[in-house]
Amino acid sequence: MQRDDMILVSVDDHVIEPPDMFVGRLPTKYVDDAPRLVHREDGTDVWKFRDTVIPNSALNAIAGRPKEEYGLEPQGLDEIRPGCYDIHERIKDMNAGGLLAQMNFPSFPGFAGRLFVTDDVDFSLALVRAYNDWHVEDWCATYPGRFIPMTIPVIWDAQLCAAEVRRNAARGVHSLTFSENPAVMGMPSFHDEFWNPLWAALVETDTVLSIHIGSSGRIAVPAVDSPPDVMITLQPMNIVSAAADLLWSRVLKDFPDLRIALSEGGIGWVPYFLERADRTFDVHATWTMQDFGGKKPSEIFREHFLTCFITDSLGVGLRHEIGIDNITWECDYPHSDSAWPQAPEGLWADFQKWNVPDDDINKITYQNAMKWYSFDPFTHIKKEDATVGALRRAAEGHDISVRPRSHQIIQPQEKLEQFRMRARAAVAGTTTSR
């Protein structure tokens, strides 16, 4: 196999929702009160919903931008790649990046759709359903075989959430984005029986619980004055907390077919984690009364958890200590951790470095994603048209140059102060509803 022969199905990318996404999807009585994209005098666009204002952070829609322009300041839609919010442009960008398919997490509603929680349950439910309808029928369905559909949860009600999972599964959805720690959001924890109806629905419909880093709504900073690099370094690995919380829970014992994806969590730390979990079991299971029916925690992990990485050379080398059937790859377009459009080059270099055989490459780059997410792009696209090389040939002439910043040119010192404000809110527990 050569680099251009790889088939890339990415399990973690992001959509910047377009302004018209609710049009025609809400009962008339809710239209005026729905979230709306507001163009501000300074040229930036923000989503507004009741008291909440959600800027489009420049780290979240950064594809194609030079590093000097990274930062947390808000942007206008006219400053970011149209591929962030326009489905046709997205496909062109995917082609240029050699990506056959993607799974797109939400942006302004938050990973767990928490923004839509209001005191009016009917309204909230209408927003969740409208969002999911837009995502499935509009965003994903426009290009069959190019997207693993994923819906947002009814985060405040496990019964309604279960019903929404079933409604979406009926039209081919097998992924639910969720919170890595509902307890931090003021909801019952993973250990509470409150969620049982949801676990049952996920198992029944073969739907994966996809928990993205940062999806508790709390960013991880040791102190309010920690440099931003601390948060950026720690964020993927912080998903280990959710992994441990679920691995040891009675949830996996009561719902043995439940499957969980640790989205953007990286993989290089996993072998250490599995060794530690097995040793914890050996030493402590007697008094903690843990019983996996004769299995070790590392075996349970491989039965239930899907991992993924963007760039993680060590993890590629340790793939068999992680579980070759448990690893997927992600592009993270259009976020700052993404190497789009050169992602295949870096990925291939790591495969070469570790002499990874073709069978392992195929599992990591697309077969595991297909299996775990019940996704088959090849009913729509021929395999020979699905490779990095074929897709890039199809994208020839597509403009991948930078779109210039036109508003809010901000100096580094001010960017750091913006981060500091966010860190303060995070430590104080007053982060916004996302």
- β-pair partners for 178: 211
Query: Please, what is the minimum distance in Å from the beta carbon of residue 67 to a copy of itself?
Result: 4
Residue among 119 and 287 whose Cβ is closer to a copy of itself = 287
Contact status: 113 vs a copy of itself (CB under 8 A): no
Among residues 285, 402, 409, 421, which is the contact residue for a copy of itself, using CB under 8 A?
Answer: 285
Contact status: 323 vs a copy of itself (CB under 8 A): no
Contact status: 68 vs a copy of itself (CB under 8 A): yes
Q: Where are the alpha helices (DSSP H) in 289-410?
A: 297-304, 313-317, 319-322, 343-353, 358-362, 368-372, 388-394
Contact status: 254 vs a copy of itself (CB under 8 A): no
The phi, psi pair for 147, rounded to 5°, reads -135, 135
Contact status: 222 vs a copy of itself (CB under 8 A): yes
Residue among 144 and 412 whose Cβ is closer to a copy of itself = 412
Residue among 15 and 59 whose Cβ is closer to a copy of itself = 59
Contact status: 402 vs a copy of itself (CB under 8 A): no
Token pair recorded at residue 65: 């931008």
Strand ranges in 319-378 using DSSP code E only, listed in sequence order:
327-329
Applying CB under 8 A, which part among 28-36, 64-72, 98-106, 381-389 lies near a copy of itself? 64-72
Contact status: 228 vs a copy of itself (CB under 8 A): yes
Is the CB of residue 211 less than 8 Å from the CB of residue 263? yes
Contact status: 352 vs a copy of itself (CB under 8 A): no
**Between vectors from CA 214 to CA 213 and to CA 217, what angle results, nearest 5°?**
150
**How does DSSP assign 99-131, residue by residue?**
EEEEEEE-STT-TT-GGG--S-HHHHHHHHHHH
Whether the CA torsion 352, 355, 358, 364 is positive or negative: it is: negative
Contact status: 241 vs a copy of itself (CB under 8 A): yes
Burial class (CB in 10 A: 0-12, 13-18, 19+), 93: buried
- β-pair partners for 48: 36, 53
Token pair recorded at residue 342: 């050169």
Query: Please, what is the minimum distance in Å from the beta carbon of residue 58 to a copy of itself?
Result: 9
State the residues that interact with a copy of itself by CB under 8 A: 67-71, 181, 183-184, 189-192, 220, 222-230, 232-234, 236-237, 240-242, 244-245, 247-249, 266, 268-269, 271-273, 275-277, 279-281, 283-290, 311-315, 318, 321, 336-337, 412-413, 415-416
